[in-house]
């Protein structure tokens, strides 16, 4: 093997190791912030839980920007986050009002508040993290992020995040046995 081939092979190994390290840091950041969002979903004050989740999600995206060396712009991110989250929200604000009302019903409301809201917050945060991480890993920036193009990927990641969050909230542990399909499988980059 020539010296040039050895250097080229070493450079490829370093690039793979760096990419693996970025993925690991990204994954840890996403999981940590998803757990924070689940706890924020326990806040019993309507709209405060949404503000808590939004703050956690913006902070997570800022951390992902740091990990991938992408400049962060809160203004550029907010509209993209709103567009993506709207794809998984119930059909209208009436549904949110119904969810808020549901939380006030004895027993059922308590169960709903302890399971549904934290699960939704964690799943949204997970999906946002996965979508932005994928975009940044492909060389994208905050400014060229197209939320409309990412809706399908976001919905797929949301479904995966909801499954993971439900298992976690119900007392399970990290689930790794289920094989992701579709966009979730390709997002494992």
Residue 53 has pLDDT above 70, yes or no: yes
For 121, the token pair is 């917050």
Closest C-alpha among 121, 142, 151, 103 to residue 56: 121
Using alpha carbons only, what angle is made at residue 68 by residues 59 and 149, rounded to the nearest 5 degrees?
80
Mean pLDDT, residues 15-29 taken together: 87
- Looking at per-residue pLDDT, the higher value among 97 and 166 belongs to 166
Confidence check: pLDDT of 171 > 70: no
Where does the pLDDT of residue 112 fall: very low under 50, low under 70, confident under 90, or very high at 90 and above? Answer: low
Q: Give the pLDDT confidence score for residue 120 in this predicted structure.
A: 85
């Amino acid at each position: 093997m020539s010296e040039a081939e050895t250097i080229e092979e070493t450079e490829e190994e370093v690039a793979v190791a760096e990419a693996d390290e970025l993925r690991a840091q990204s994954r840890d950041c996403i999981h940590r912030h998803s757990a924070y969002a689940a706890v924020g979903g326990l806040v019993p004050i309507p709209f405060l839980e949404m503000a808590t989740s939004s703050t956690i999600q913006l902070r997570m995206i800022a951390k992902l920007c740091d990990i991938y060396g992408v400049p962060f712009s809160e203004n550029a991110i907010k509209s993209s986050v709103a567009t993506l989250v709207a794809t998984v929200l119930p059909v209208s604000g009436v549904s949110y009002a119904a969810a808020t009302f549901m939380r006030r019903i004895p027993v059922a409301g308590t169960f709903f508040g302890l399971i549904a809201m934290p699960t939704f917050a964690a799943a949204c945060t997970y999906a946002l993290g996965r979508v932005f991480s994928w975009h940044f890993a492909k060389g994208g920036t905050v400014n060229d992020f197209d939320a409309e193009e990412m809706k399908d990927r976001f919905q797929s990641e949301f479904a995966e995040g909801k499954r993971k969050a439900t298992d976690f909230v119900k007392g399970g542990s990290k689930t790794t046995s289920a094989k992701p399909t579709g966009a979730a499988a390709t997002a494992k980059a």
